[in-house]
Amino acid sequence: MPSLNPVHPVLAIAVLAVLSAAASLSPQPRGAAAEAATMGKASVKIANFDFGPATITVPAGTPVTWTNNDDDAHSVVADDKAFRSAPLDTGESYSFTFAKPGTYAYHCGLHPQMHGKVIVTR
C-alpha cells in the first residue's frame, strides 16, 4: 500500500474513491458502499439479511459497531476467524476495534451468504 497522509481529509476521500473503484472489480454483495468514519466510530446495520453498508472504511483504531435490526439472530465472524461476535438477537450490538490497517472480510456465522468488509486505513 502506498504511503499516504492519514489526516488530510481531501486525501482520505481520494483514497476512498480509489478503494471503492478497486473493490468494484471483485464480486460484492448488493448495496456495497464505502463510507468514511468521521466521528471516531463507525456503525454497520444488519437488516433484511444484509450488512449495511457492506463495505465500510475506517482509520485504524476506530471501533466498529454492528447492530442487528432483524427478527432473526445474526453474528459477525471474520473470514480468517480473527474476530467473532456472540449471536446477536434483535437489537443487540457487537463492537470491534481495528488496530491495524488492512482489509477485513467477514460474514454472518448463521447465514454465511451474508458478507461484509471493513477497510482499515492508517
Nearer to other proteins by Cβ, of 5 and 90: the residue is: 90
CA 17 to mean position of chain CA atoms: 16
67 binds other proteins (CB under 8 A): no
We find the least distance from the C-beta atom of residue 119 to other proteins, in angstroms, to be 17
Using the rule CB under 8 A, give the single segment among 7-15, 34-42, 54-62, 101-109 that binds other proteins.
101-109
82 binds other proteins (CB under 8 A): no
Interaction pattern, residues 12-41, with other proteins; x per rule: CB under 8 A: ------------------------------
72 binds other proteins (CB under 8 A): yes
| Distance (Å, whole) CA 118 – CA 100 | 11
* b/e 90-117 (16+ beta carbons within 10 angstroms → b): eeeebebebeeeeebebbbbeeeebbbb
